[in-house]
Structure 1
């Protein structure tokens, strides 16, 4: 999956992130990882005590789109701090209809457990505000939800979201285990896009039917470095023949090892590897057009932002520059020997954080 071979599919995901000697199984895999157990690492990849607590970061990002609405939600746990955000963009009116965010107490108000697939629990809770992504141990669909009281989002009104993201008859998840620069060690991510969705979303007096929509999931956990930066793109839509289409691209993260690569397409029930990703944009003007492509030549897209979510903070030891425009990708994607014109809904992202 590292470079340009057509329709390349990663190998089957292992049952643990470490081998029998405690070394990380670096690589790119097809399927759901049962659990991320960083404490089982041994040797130079391991961290213990305060260093492990300081460097361990984990988050769950979830998104849904239909022809009418794009919804994004994240729960982020960085050990000594935690936060959440959620926003929704009306794609027909091209304006945000919800913006919410907040800090929380790690382990009390905010939690992201060690299971990216079956058994996932990621939540943010405070009086008047609950956000979650979860999946029951029996292997049911992922559930994405939010309940926000009117006082928590006074500019928008009481909000209720509940959706199921189905994994049956969908392309498999992508799992990547990658080294990261010192003082970090290892990062594990499970990405999944173009999942069939059923559900509803209501904000204030507005109601949106989510049935027939598409969903995306990004679970990430690792021992990360003091500074972490990347460019990211995620999009969902359909090919002209009706097949569900998902896209994940990253530059500057999980791409330092030749066998670790999270750039991929989800086409119908097939997961297809891509070459490395290239991003071109104006850092000081993320609302302007972005160009994204891959070294294998199979993806050439132009992104137009509708709304830009920003989190720029300086909290002493934590300094974050996090920009996530939401909007529309248009261009060409080649699947097999055929090049298709496409329109995808999703996000780009520029992040540089010290934590």
Structure 2
């Protein structure tokens, strides 16, 4: 059993973050109170601290007909966003991308409990109120005003871990959320009675070169709503961010491995744990990819849409069969 603790009001106290898994949402990261040191134990300048801090936010929405992925990222030198709409039956992906330099034309809240993040004059916007997320989109192919609501008593996964020599990463995720509001795709209003969603809030002083593998589900099996988040590469210093939700109940999992052929985008993935509690196969159907090589900054990003099959055993020992459930995987390298 993974030990959890009550979420602090502020993550940084006495110049250092509080590490571990939290029950609830940290209201303020209090980044301004963090005492940032170099690898040689000398205080870093305010400018160095500013540019070392990174954050990104992501929302995924799944309906019977479409999957939608929306991201906002601030790596200080540049702000970026993407929004894609994936037509499940047609296996067709349409995307919009935005890039803004040096804090111009975008805003990001550094509170996982409240605030607004937006880009391109509000064409993409995330609003967090009392820990609840809203998404608004206003683009050619898609318009949305959506609210993500947890099932009763459902807790997010919230964890802070040491990163590199003197950094830290706070990650908060919640999947298997109900979706309400309005959604129009290609001028056609979409029903939301079966829609599910999830969000990701990640921020901190990450490694200069960072890579991760990731898997995510917002779906249904039998009469249950499930959410899944599995990752390897970032939050693995004493804790991890792996979690499985069943009808809103949170089950924290152990470490997992990702096996796939990076240079063959059509190859299947295997995601599994040494203890046998996670044993999944993933078949990719489509991919949103982007490569940026700006010398000092690099990003090699691939997010796959496909189906999962296999088994997950929750913390009560109940085995859940997963069969052709739509979800995401990701393989990403960043130099920032």
- TM-score normalised by the chain length of structure 1: 0.87
Cα distance in 2 for partners of 1:120, 1:304 equals 36
Q: Is the 8 A contact 1:161 1:202 kept in 2?
A: yes
The match for 1:185 is 167
| Cα shift at 1:280 | 0.4
| Cα shift at 1:27 | 1.1
| Cα shift at 1:73 | 0.2
Number of residues paired by the alignment? 330
Equivalent residues in 2 for 1:157-172 (5 A)?
158-167=141-150, 169=152, 171-172=154-155
Cα distance in 2 for partners of 1:325, 1:269 equals 25
The match for 1:16 is 10
User: Which residue of 110, 116, 120 maps to 2:112?
Assistant: 116
Cα distance in 1 for partners of 2:275, 2:16 equals 31
The match for 1:155 is none
User: Which residue of 223, 227, 230 maps to 1:246?
Assistant: 227
The match for 2:59 is 62
| Cα shift at 1:140 | 7.7
| Cα shift at 1:204 | 2.2
Q: Is the 8 A contact 1:95 1:306 kept in 2?
A: no
Q: 1:47 to 1:236 in 2, by over 3 A?
A: farther
The match for 1:227 is 209
| Cα shift at 1:47 | 4.7
Cα distance in 2 for partners of 1:83, 1:208 equals 27
- Structure 2 residue matching 1:135: 3-state secondary structure: strand
- Structure 1 residue matching 2:9: 3-state secondary structure: coil
Cα distance in 1 for partners of 2:170, 2:127 equals 18
Q: 1:17 to 1:297 in 2, by over 3 A?
A: same
| Cα shift at 1:186 | 1.1
RMSD, aligned α-carbons: 2.0
Q: Is the 8 A contact 1:174 1:190 kept in 2?
A: yes
The match for 2:32 is 39
Cα distance in 1 for partners of 2:170, 2:176 equals 21
- CA displacement 1:155-208 (0-9 Å, x = unmatched): xxx4212211013515211111111114x6111111111111113332324442
Cα distance in 1 for partners of 2:138, 2:5 equals 39
Q: 1:311 to 1:341 in 2, by over 3 A?
A: same
- TM-score normalised by the chain length of structure 2: 0.91
Cα distance in 2 for partners of 1:279, 1:181 equals 22
User: Which residue of 254, 272, 275 maps to 2:254?
Assistant: 275
The match for 1:80 is 77
- CA displacement 1:2-43 (0-9 Å, x = unmatched): xxx4xx563322222123x22221112221110222221236
Cα distance in 2 for partners of 1:179, 1:227 equals 15
Q: 1:188 to 1:244 in 2, by over 3 A?
A: same
Cα distance in 2 for partners of 1:145, 1:47 equals 38
The match for 2:275 is 296
Matched, 1:103 2:83: no
Q: 1:140 to 1:176 in 2, by over 3 A?
A: closer
Q: Is the 8 A contact 1:274 1:296 kept in 2?
A: no
The match for 2:135 is 144
In structure 1, the gaps of 5 or more residues are 151-157
Matched, 1:90 2:87: yes
Matched, 1:351 2:325: no
Q: Is the 8 A contact 2:146 2:179 kept in 1?
A: yes
Cα distance in 1 for partners of 2:36, 2:68 equals 41
| Cα shift at 1:214 | 1.1
Q: Is the 8 A contact 1:199 1:209 kept in 2?
A: no
The match for 1:153 is none
